[in-house]
Chains A and B, each alone.
Chain A
Amino acid sequence: MKWIAGCLMLVGLAALDPPYDPARELAAIAKTGPQGEGSAAAKVARDELAKHGVEVLPQLLVAMDTSNAVAANWYRTVYEEIVARELARDGTKWPVEFFKEYVSDAKRVGRPRRLVLGLLDKLEPAFRASWLPTRLDDAEFRYEAVGLALTAGDRALKDNNQPAAKAEFRKAFEAARDSTQVTQAAAKLKSLSESADVAQHLGLITEWWLVGPFDAPQKTGFAKVFAPEGKVDLQAKYLGQGGVEQAWKRHHETDTLGQLDLNKQLGTTREAVGYAYAEIDVPHEQAAQVRCGADDNCSVWLNGEKVFGRDQWLNGTRFDRFITPIQLKAGRNALLVKICQGPQHKDPEVSNNWSVQLRLCDDQGRGIEFNSINPER
């Protein structure tokens, strides 16, 4: 009888055992970081976590919402192992409602949300089709949602339903942040006689004052200071490359994505520097980003303060290549951009591009609201 009582006691104690709390293991992994730090402890914690089932997935996914790239991957190895194991067997009670809530929380880091969406595809195959089109304001899934809107618009056009097509294309245009999607949506709207201002949508600077070229032998242009860097005086005249007098001239850029070709505007040259100047009026003080690219390179001053410069050569002007946070004040803001042109590459077939592209936007890539000012000389 004693042994029966003992067994019952053990069973009772086991029943009282609290459920597994993964907090300690999750915290150990959170400590991983630079230099491989914390790896040994993370490995032990990972192995322990992976022994458990779907009950740890909610806490695991919350932990995966981290900017620590190393920890995120350690967590992911656990997630992948548990999910693969549980998918291979019947009867698992997946926390599907938690997954839906998690994947829909746009404030969370995007990558684990995308993982969960992939799992929902297996658990509830119809979910994606109804959910994804609603994600137009979701940074992680916006691209796909915009793509669906564009497709829906095309379908409506095929069905000769122009109002529906316009509505879908408008929805796509307003939500799009990817430059290719923005231009695609704009082109579709324009084909239906609808307006769509790509430059405004992306915050592209297209109204410029330009001056140059100034002489900058070899690759001295980046460091060499020319008069406009001291003070922008649109009335001034300067001694430019080859002793030619240079003055500021106005330019309106018509390229769809605001790419300004200095070879066309200032003349084809080498080993030179050109300047582009713009003034804008913004309705209120705000944090923003200046996104730019240039060939060969550019430096940017905002209201007299240098906010960006990268001493690189022969790189190509690529959309949003460099992203720098800035603070715009309410009212007038002045932007000065210096664009360098280096020596011709030793291979004469390498093009002699001299160009710049610059925009002002929020951290999601939507152009900020501003008016270009055309300052008087």
Chain B
Amino acid sequence: MNCKKGIVKEMMPRWISRIRGSELLLVLFLLPHVRCNAENWPGWRGPNRNGVTSDTGVPTTWSATENVLWKMPLPGIGTSNPVVWGDKVFVTASEGRDQGELHVICFDRDTGRELWHQRLWGTAPTLFYGRSGMASPSPVTDGKRLFAFFGTGDVFCFDLDGGLLWQRAIADEYGPFENRFAAASSPLLFEDKLIVQCDHYGASYVIALDQLTGANRWKSDRPEVWLSWSSPQLVTNGDRIELVLSGSEKLDGYDPRTGSPLWTLRGLARECVPTPVFGHGMLFVVSGPNGTHFAIKPGGSGDITDSHIVWKNDKGTSFVPSAILVGERYYLADDKGIGSCLDAHTGKLIWKKRFGDKFTASPVAADGKLFFINEAGSTLVLDATQAGYEEVARNDIGEEVYASPAISQGKLFVRTSKNLVCVGSK
């Protein structure tokens, strides 16, 4: 049985309505015995927005041909990570001289067949980075709708069959983004809202859109901030859920239901890219290069710089890749290819290694393994269950990689500079 948590949840009412009496008893008996190891990868950095999934069965070795289930060419450029829900894989891209030609594509998870492909115009293309264009932000889905944000200042909502449900041209409504490398922040879903961080040289803001209609639920201006490419994060602090945004030398906490500012921590880099990760009741924040790692306790109000820092460490910070927290350890590969592992509770360096080549992609983890993909397309697989540095494999996919991968249902989805590649056991 192919057990997919998201699909099971979605199908449950119809499923149960078809079975009765002894059949139901049999199903209830069998349920705990089904090895349910398959997770979706619904947005930026996966199910928990931290690169980690409970998925199992992902191969640890592959090459340009070995364990490659399928490979499909992608149009244009982009560094958004693939998103997987059930049997569908979604990817965004952009192309054209100004990168204003936008693509949202859906592939069949098992065969790679293109199921649908929406081509749209971006409202206000900006300057851009040659590898990502307007398609740095990863789309996000709740299994019913797919939301795609682009550097052109557009948000699109589709049903999972590719039907457009609404569009917000927020660059038209609130002014074009002024960005050197195009907006890159990946939106997140919270309750019935889609939250988008829009930090740029002009009037910056964070905005919550109604998932059903696209209308504003709230908009909170960020007059004191400028350019950042970081993505928002949600953290749970007791009964309180906090929306966390990094950028402009600080980290800001907001109430995700109202957009009201809660707290600020100072000391980040001027321009922030990595997305904070949450675990052990702490928020782990990195920004660089030549910046600082922070582990902080969320919560509080006002300026929490002097009151909420658990530890900080100035060594080996990254400009682009986000960090990953697995168990008691906090791992990072910086842009220049130096990997490090810190004790999550103290910030003490456990090991430091030269991984090789440069990194843009953020690491992911599953089944006790860490996957670091460098720009040359080589993936370093590490055993995260070992106390020290334990290399499992190095796998070369044969193409450059700048996008973070996705893991879902025993497969690794790698967006290379040319293709979407599905890696899995044959």
Binds A, one of B10-18, B85-93, B209-217, B369-377: B209-217
Q: Pick the contact of B180: A39, A47, A143, A316 (CB < 8 A).
A: A316
Would you call B173 an interface residue if the criterion is a C-beta within 8 Å of the partner chain's C-beta atoms?
Answer: yes
Chain A residues within an 8 Å CB radius of B156:
73
Is the CB–CB distance between B127 and A318 below 8 Å?
yes
Closest A residue to B123 by CB, please name it: A69
Is the CB–CB distance between B166 and A36 below 8 Å?
yes
How far, in angstroms, from A47 to B119 measured CA to CA in the complex? Answer: 16
Chain B residues within an 8 Å CB radius of A35:
168, 173, 213-216
Chain B residues within an 8 Å CB radius of A69:
121, 123, 154, 169, 172
How far, in angstroms, from A76 to B163 measured CA to CA in the complex? Answer: 12
Closest B residue to A77 by CB, please name it: B164
Would you call A72 an interface residue if the criterion is a C-beta within 8 Å of the partner chain's C-beta atoms?
Answer: yes
Closest A residue to B120 by CB, please name it: A73
Q: What is the minimal beta-carbon distance from B126 to any residue of chain A, in angstroms?
A: 11
Is the CB–CB distance between B213 and A39 below 8 Å?
yes
Would you call B257 an interface residue if the criterion is a C-beta within 8 Å of the partner chain's C-beta atoms?
Answer: no
With known contacts A36-B167, A36-B214, A77–B118 Cβ distance under 8 A? yes
With known contacts A77-B118, A315-B201, A345-B270, A39–B123 Cβ distance under 8 A? no
Closest A residue to B249 by CB, please name it: A346
Would you call B290 an interface residue if the criterion is a C-beta within 8 Å of the partner chain's C-beta atoms?
Answer: yes
Would you call B72 an interface residue if the criterion is a C-beta within 8 Å of the partner chain's C-beta atoms?
Answer: no
**Which residues 62-96 of A sit at the B interface, judged by CB distance below 8 A?**
69-70, 72-74, 76-77, 80
Is the CB–CB distance between A36 and B173 below 8 Å?
no
Is the CB–CB distance between B164 and A43 below 8 Å?
yes
Q: Pick the contact of B210: A36, A312, A315 (CB < 8 A).
A: A36
How many residues of A are in contact with the other chain, CB < 8 A? 26
Is the CB–CB distance between B163 and A39 below 8 Å?
no
How many residues of B are in contact with the other chain, CB < 8 A? 30
Q: What is the minimal beta-carbon distance from A172 to any residue of chain B, in angstroms?
A: 17
Would you call A46 an interface residue if the criterion is a C-beta within 8 Å of the partner chain's C-beta atoms?
Answer: yes
Closest B residue to A312 by CB, please name it: B201
Is the CB–CB distance between B119 and A80 below 8 Å?
yes
With known contacts A39-B165, A316-B180, A34–B173 Cβ distance under 8 A? yes
Would you call B97 an interface residue if the criterion is a C-beta within 8 Å of the partner chain's C-beta atoms?
Answer: yes
Would you call B149 an interface residue if the criterion is a C-beta within 8 Å of the partner chain's C-beta atoms?
Answer: no
Closest A residue to B180 by CB, please name it: A316
Would you call A347 an interface residue if the criterion is a C-beta within 8 Å of the partner chain's C-beta atoms?
Answer: yes
Is the CB–CB distance between B172 and A34 below 8 Å?
yes
**Which residues 119-136 of B sit at the A interface, judged by CB distance below 8 A?**
119-121, 123, 127
Chain B residues within an 8 Å CB radius of A318:
127
**Which residues 286-320 of B sit at the A interface, judged by CB distance below 8 A?**
290
**Which residues 196-240 of A sit at the B interface, judged by CB distance below 8 A?**
none
Would you call A155 an interface residue if the criterion is a C-beta within 8 Å of the partner chain's C-beta atoms?
Answer: no
With known contacts A34-B172, A318-B127, A143–B97 Cβ distance under 8 A? yes
Would you call A111 an interface residue if the criterion is a C-beta within 8 Å of the partner chain's C-beta atoms?
Answer: yes
Would you call B355 an interface residue if the criterion is a C-beta within 8 Å of the partner chain's C-beta atoms?
Answer: no
**Which residues 24-71 of A sit at the B interface, judged by CB distance below 8 A?**
32, 34-37, 39, 43, 46-47, 69-70
0 or 1 for each of B157-196: is its CB under 8 Å from A? (1 = yes): 0000001111111001100000010000000000000000
Would you call B107 an interface residue if the criterion is a C-beta within 8 Å of the partner chain's C-beta atoms?
Answer: no
Would you call B226 an interface residue if the criterion is a C-beta within 8 Å of the partner chain's C-beta atoms?
Answer: yes
Q: What is the minimal beta-carbon distance from A287 to any residue of chain B, in angstroms?
A: 21
With known contacts A70-B169, A72-B121, A36–B164 Cβ distance under 8 A? no
**Which residues 73-125 of B sit at the A interface, judged by CB distance below 8 A?**
97, 100, 118-121, 123
Closest B residue to A64 by CB, please name it: B121
Chain A residues within an 8 Å CB radius of B127:
318
A-B CB contact pairs (8 Å), 13 listed: A34-B169, A35-B215, A36-B166, A36-B167, A37-B215, A39-B213, A69-B121, A70-B168, A73-B120, A76-B119, A80-B118, A315-B201, A345-B270
Besides the known contacts A36-B166, A70-B169, 14 further A-B residue pairs in the complex with CB atoms under 8 A apart: A34-B168, A35-B213, A35-B216, A36-B168, A36-B213, A43-B165, A46-B164, A69-B123, A69-B169, A72-B121, A73-B121, A73-B156, A80-B118, A345-B270
